[in-house]
A and B are shown apart, each in its own frame.
Chain A
Amino acid sequence: MSCLQTIQDYAFRSIGYGERLLPRSDFTLCEQFTLIGSGMIWNIYYGLVAIFFGFFFAVTLAMGKNSHHAYLRKPAEFFIYVFRGSPLFIQFFFAYAVFLSLKQVYPIFQPLTAAWMGATVVLLLNTSAYSAEIFFGALRSIPKGDLEAADAYGIMGLNRFKRITFPTMLRLAWPSYTNEAIFLFHATALVSFSSFPVRGQKGDALYYANYFADKTFNPFVPYPILAGYFIILTLAVITVYGIANRHLNRHLPQEKRKPARIRINLFR
């Protein structure tokens, strides 16, 4: 079977298109590359959805934590503390248990016990907590002068948030937020080690890497392939966030526009 044929058969296997049966013997490098790459579709999906929705939730949480009102601050603080303080796999475990019992009471929660929905929700909550902490730190370090200047111009309320607070917060938080995005994509690899089941052999990249390692008894081929895909993904994330960073800092004089240093400023 030619490699092109393999790609046709398996490139979208992870989302249910193409050959139903996975290869069972005489595993070629091409098959391993194609299937593990096919699994990456899920990793990218988890990452993108969690980052997109997590962003809005994180901003809300950061505002909550920065609030003067205890009834807003305390829940936000608690949420961030729990999700940042515990290992992701324990979060997966408890979330799955909660989703199961929810589903039994309200059938509307049916999709939550499937990885495509449930694992995404957990990753979303997790990344929100980390990002919220970053945004909170940035909110606290917005130069006082900026806000005073806004007051002087009579920019108030929502307008001030939209034009001054929010953009400045993003600018300050961006390097750390880039790191969080990288870590989040790495965390998507944990999904196939979590309690969420895999249906019809439609799994993520680690599921297929595991499949090949199990069939060939040789971990030295599939896992480095997986690692290679993730390196590419990481580079892509850094590039996209770098472009966003340039956009955020476009008002600065050219020579001061240093590329954001990728510093590890948050933790998982």
Chain B
Amino acid sequence: MFSYCTDPQTLEGLKWLSCYLTTGKHMSFYLSFGTVLVLLAITAPTALGFGFLGAMAARARFAPFRWIGKSYTAIVRGVPDIAFFLFFVIALDQAFEWMRHKVKCPDWTDPIRQGNDFVVCDAAKLPLSTSPQWVHETYGFFVAVLTFAIVFGAFAANVLYGAMRAVPRAQMETAEAYGMSQRQSFWRIMVPQMWVYALPGLSNLWMILIKATPLLFLLGVEDAVYWAKELGATKTAKFSDYPHTNWHMQYYFGLLVFYLAFTSLSERVFKRISARLSHGQATAAGEAQRKAAA
């Protein structure tokens, strides 16, 4: 990085540190925080989408939909996320490739499962084995997002299902009295009002999601925890220009600060959203706002 970094053995103190902290490996470490943030930013709305679908399914009048919705939330919520991550990504990847294989190579005669091997035709590979590395990484990232979204979607479905039931019955009855159809009253009355009831649950879910990101490496994404572990491990002079003893303590302390800062920032943001959502609502908080303004 800096011009004086060519021979780190001769450096000392701050100069050494400035070189050490700007190695290519450290750059990957810093970038991985970005990866975590991007993953959170994409996963949260996706999981909310899954949750919404799950909650709608659980409320459906058509029984099979209801069963699907309810068993999705019950099963996925019953399993520790770590156990889920250990086999689900490979399963998901194989499912995609199997579907592409059926579409793209209809005249393929060899079995897909050959002993332990899972073999699909070259055109069905995801991503194609000829694609550059960044495509592979993006695909891996996408699968990780999807896995997170499926797991947290189940929790979100549960929260939203509760929130939909918490919207006062009188509101829905009024909508019916105004002649709204089922669909209209759902989208115009229930959906706008349910968020205030869902917010406490959703904000907690967001916090759980943040703290589940250290499991990302199990999904094949190199996150901040992976790099902290790698960088903190003992380095001998033979394999590194910056030999040091075991520095896991220091690196993990950095992670601790990051997570504490990030969760408390999130808490503050949620407080604001909550205040805004409560505005004009028929809840205690909404009532308190009204009184304060009057």
**Interface residues in chain A, defined as those with a beta carbon under 8 Å from any beta carbon in chain B:** 81-82, 84-90, 93-94, 97, 182-183, 185-187, 189-190, 193, 206, 209, 213, 217-220, 223-224, 226-227, 230-231, 233-235, 261-268
Are A193 and B260 in touch, CB under 8 angstroms?
no
- Assembly CA distance A218 to B205 (angstroms): 32
Q: Count residues on chain B whose CB falls below 8 Å from chain A CBs.
A: 42
- Assembly CA distance A213 to B87 (angstroms): 10
Q: Looking at the complex, which one of B83, B116, B155 makes contact with A230 (CB distance below 8 Å)?
A: B83
**Shortest Cβ distance from A266 into B: residue:** B204
Are B252 and A223 in touch, CB under 8 angstroms?
no
A-B contact number at CB 8 A: 111
**Interface residues in chain B, defined as those with a beta carbon under 8 Å from any beta carbon in chain A:** 74-75, 77-84, 86-87, 90-91, 116, 155, 158-159, 162, 165, 200-201, 203-208, 211-214, 225, 248-249, 252, 255-256, 259-260, 263-264
- Assembly CA distance A82 to B264 (angstroms): 10
- Assembly CA distance A88 to B87 (angstroms): 21
Task: Given the known inter-chain contacts A81-B264, A86-B211, A88-B211, please indicate yes or no for A264 contacting B79, CB distance below 8 A.
Answer: no
- Assembly CA distance A220 to B260 (angstroms): 35
Are B78 and A224 in touch, CB under 8 angstroms?
no
Q: Looking at the complex, which one of B78, B116, B155 makes contact with A235 (CB distance below 8 Å)?
A: B78
Are B81 and A87 in touch, CB under 8 angstroms?
no
Of the listed residues B87, B116, B159, B205, the one surrounded by the most CB atoms of chain A closer than 10 A to its CB is: B87
Q: Looking at the complex, which one of A90, A187, A213, A264 makes contact with B252 (CB distance below 8 Å)?
A: A90
Are A223 and B256 in touch, CB under 8 angstroms?
no
Are B87 and A223 in touch, CB under 8 angstroms?
yes
Are B78 and A230 in touch, CB under 8 angstroms?
yes
Main secondary structure of the interface of B (DSSP, over half): helix
Nearest-CB distance from A91 to chain B (Å)? 9
Are B211 and A87 in touch, CB under 8 angstroms?
yes
Q: Which residues of B sit under 8 angstroms from A193, Cβ to Cβ?
A: 82
Main secondary structure of the interface of A (DSSP, over half): helix
Q: Which residues of B sit under 8 angstroms from A224, Cβ to Cβ?
A: 87
Are A87 and B87 in touch, CB under 8 angstroms?
no
Task: Given the known inter-chain contacts A220-B87, A264-B205, please indicate yes or no for A93 contacting B75, CB distance below 8 A.
Answer: no
- Assembly CA distance A158 to B237 (angstroms): 64
Are B264 and A85 in touch, CB under 8 angstroms?
yes
Q: Which residues of A sit under 8 angstroms from B165, Cβ to Cβ?
A: 261
Nearest-CB distance from A226 to chain B (Å)? 5
Nearest-CB distance from B42 to chain A (Å)? 20
- Assembly CA distance A151 to B77 (angstroms): 43
Are B252 and A189 in touch, CB under 8 angstroms?
no
Nearest-CB distance from A119 to chain B (Å)? 15
